[in-house]
Amino acid sequence: MLIFKRKAGLCLGIWLVFFCCLGIVGQEADEEIVASPVKPLGKYEPLIRGGGQYIEIAGTVIESPWMKDAGKGKTDFWRYFMHGMTDHRGYPLVWEAFLGNGQAGVLDKTVLLDSVVKSSGLSSICLPGKSKVVFEKPLLSMADLSAVRGKTLRFYVWLKGEDTGRGAALWDGAPQVSFYVKDANDFVVASKKCNFRTRGTFPWHCYYIEVPIPAVLALNEVSFGDEAKAGETKVEEGGSMVVDDVFSASFLSDLGSLVESGIDEGVTLPSGGGVYVRLENPASGKAWFSTLSWEVVTAENTPVREKRCDPTTGSMAPNPDYDELPMHLYFGLSKDYTWKFLKGNKAFGDLTYKSIMKDYVLNTVVKDWSHTLHALPYMVQMVGAGTMLGRVPPIELGWTEALGDLLEGLQDPESGLWKLDGHGSLELTHLIVANSFSARQCDRGDAVVHETPWLGVGNRVVPRAAAMCDSILGAQCRDRRGGKHLAGWTRFAFKPQSVVNGVTGMGSFEMCSSAAAVQLLLRCYPLVDGGRKARIRESMRGAWTYAMQTVFRPNGLWYQGDALPDFRGPAFGFQFLEGTQWLETKRNVAAVAKPDVETELNSREDFTINWKPQNEASLRVYATKPGVDPSTIGDKDLIVVVHNTNAKSLATMDALLALREICLSVEKNWGATPEKYGAIYAADKLALFNKQVKIAQGSRIVIPKPTELANEEGKLVYWLAATSPYSDLSEFVKVNSPAEESEEQ
């Protein structure tokens, strides 16, 4: 999601989180090739000359002609190389070295790599539609892997397509490359599927994939008795776009990484450890793969991300001249170049015209889940933010309004949801609402509401909010441990029952879907009647309670679900917490009794509180000027949070203190902050501790005069309130300032 710095009007700010220009310029010709830590045997040993300009291997030559004229001006690398990254320093591999018995038929010695920047006499691999090959021998053996443990390997491969992808969705039908790392015990310990998807007919183009090698890797086989792994290894691949950590909060929202396209067919790998590669042309036509090479990723051969953008088109797509719109958005957009790719390329027409945009939505998007999930939700935001930045080419008048009409027309009127593959989709609905119907932030009652016009079409609010609310509330799971209490949502919230029944180990809470659900309910809240508002409040509180019991750990980290209790990173957790009303200060005197407190005057500057904590989570202390209406007291007046030491868990302590503990742990362990994931409301709450709020604990506490008010003239009035773990406040107890008490005496 697009995240902006919070200043007046929320002016354009933090662009590296969303529109991050990820770029590399072509490497200079005088750079030396990086020596490979491992060496192939015999005739596949390469002879490298001219810093990689000429490579002799297996009786043939690989040449990079662009290097001859590198000193006279730069080649337009992006026309031939993904992100402008050239492969002249890559250590070449020969397909024949890895073929097994009966696999020679995939070799093509007639269609060879031949472009103006690279030519190769090595045989290519030719795969017709609906075919794939997993090479029998590993690209790197276990002995080779011992030299690269804990490193990331960058593999380059050249692709050429002829009528590929016909009849299939973009992400499912384009030619693909996948890598698998197996240890000495024959276990798959890492895998990486390419995140480029070029289909149709396109000329030779060089792509790269970066494959992390685990630092802890079994290099020698150990015995597991009857459970020892033997024979073939089978792994299951998800059919989703997997976003690298560096892109985890980029133009593609994290919620987009959970797609509803099903699970890929199992992949059968040969026995033995090493790095294996699979090539596939899953749909139609023919795909050629040529001249594979690799290098260890280092700071020296990895230029800064900001230079990976194609200066000609303003795109970060792997193949900007032939890639479809989802790929241009998937990798983020540049803040430095005009987004000329919107004027069209070999794959789509000039989208700046309403008629062509409408044709794209109605004839491509609705028929391809890849476009539905990874392009449609971001088009309003793309044009809105790009216009504010001055990076969008001239757009036909009324373009955004026409797109808004199309979006509303695609919404299911009965459920209020947008559909993916024929079924209402929680994730897609959240993405569309968050990026197309969110022209202002949600009114939380205790925070300033900021305008976010780049995330909406005019002042349109969520359409069919009541129907959407009913659908989401109806899909909420019950506690799988007994079914009596509300829990969360899973990816199967709107799946057919037959699909759900076929899934094993399904729980009652997944962070991704639950974050989407509460964020949508938050958007619907001001637009629905009182009865639905009450149900929303109950739903959010139930989801928060269950999450605190099952997926949030005492150390502040969280699991991604209750069915598979493993730590997989910080995605979705901050969005979930912010979407609930956990942090929102609520005047709920029925839920929390007034605090049992006495005060003692110390001086004209401070006083002491004697507090007898009961079941409350904390005691909050506020300071205001005289004559302030207690109903207006809020975070701006908070000066001290007194922790109840009997509240020993995140679920029982003050929400602000629990948020602080969570954020400190997440930043320490995962390097993430609320701002990185767009949780601006939570970030503002956390910032209170840096600006004004002190933390105390115990039953006898000295309350000093607030530092920022120490030099101000005038009297202060102090207010005390007991607080529940869900930010319910008791009735306020007024305490005269020391100055007032002194005068009265």
- Residue with more model confidence, 209 or 15: 209
The pLDDT of residue 16: 32
At residue 91, the 3 state secondary structure works out as strand
- Cα-based angle 26, 178, 377 (whole degrees, multiple of 5): 75
The pLDDT of residue 461: 96
* Mean pLDDT score, 728-743: 73
Is 83:318 a contact under the CB 8 Å cutoff? yes
The reported pTM is 0.86
Distance of CA 280 to the CA centre of its chain: 26
How far apart, in whole angstroms, are the C-alpha atoms of residue 308 and residue 447? Answer: 38
At residue 238, the 3 state secondary structure works out as strand
Please state which CATH number belongs to domain 24-218+280-303: 2.60.120
Pairing between strand 47-49 and 728-729? unpaired
Long-range contacts of 563-568 (CB under 8 A, 24+ apart): 563/505, 563/506, 563/507, 563/510, 564/505, 564/507
The pLDDT of residue 504: 62
How far apart, in whole angstroms, are the C-alpha atoms of residue 478 and residue 512? Answer: 17
Nearest residue to 66 via CA among 25, 116, 18 = 116
Nearest residue to 400 via CA among 415, 387, 418, 419 = 387
How far apart, in whole angstroms, are the C-alpha atoms of residue 20 and residue 245? Answer: 13
The helix or strand, by DSSP H or E, that contains position 190, with its residue range, turns out to be strand 188-193
* Mean pLDDT score, 631-654: 94
Looking at every residue in the chain, the average pLDDT score rounds to 86
Fold of 586-744: Immunoglobulin-like (2.60.40)
Q: Residue 490: pLDDT band by 50, 70, 90 thresholds?
A: very high
Nearest residue to 476 via CA among 557, 546, 560 = 546
Percent above pLDDT 90 for the chain: 69
Q: Residue 565: pLDDT band by 50, 70, 90 thresholds?
A: confident
Digit-coded pLDDT (tens) for 608-618: 899 999 999 99
Cβ atoms within 10 Å of 553's Cβ, excluding its own: 15
* Mean pLDDT score, 139-154: 94
Q: Is the pLDDT of residue 441 over 70?
A: yes
At residue 519, the 3 state secondary structure works out as helix
How far apart, in whole angstroms, are the C-alpha atoms of residue 426 and residue 739? Answer: 56
Q: Where in the chain is the domain with CATH 2.60.120?
A: 24-218+280-303
The pLDDT of residue 563: 87
- Residue with more model confidence, 186 or 566: 186
* Mean pLDDT score, 435-439: 96
Dihedral (CA of 328, 329, 335, 339) sign: positive
Is 3:678 a contact under the CB 8 Å cutoff? yes
The pLDDT of residue 238: 32
How far apart, in whole angstroms, are the C-alpha atoms of residue 412 and residue 425? Answer: 11
Angle between the N-to-C axes of helices 354-363 and 399-410, in degrees from 0 to 180, rounded to the nearest 10: 20
Digit-coded pLDDT (tens) for 302-353: 877 778 999 999 999 999 999 999 999 999 898 899 999 999 999 999 999 9
How far apart, in whole angstroms, are the C-alpha atoms of residue 606 and residue 648? Answer: 29
Token pair of 426, please?
């929680």
Percent above pLDDT 70 for the chain: 84
At residue 394, the 3 state secondary structure works out as coil
The helix or strand, by DSSP H or E, that contains position 202, with its residue range, turns out to be strand 200-212
* Mean pLDDT score, 638-645: 95
Beta bridge partners, 297, equal none
Cβ-based neighbours of 568, under 8 Å, separated by 6 or more? 559, 560
Q: Where in the chain is the domain with CATH 2.60.40.10?
A: 586-744
The pLDDT of residue 249: 27
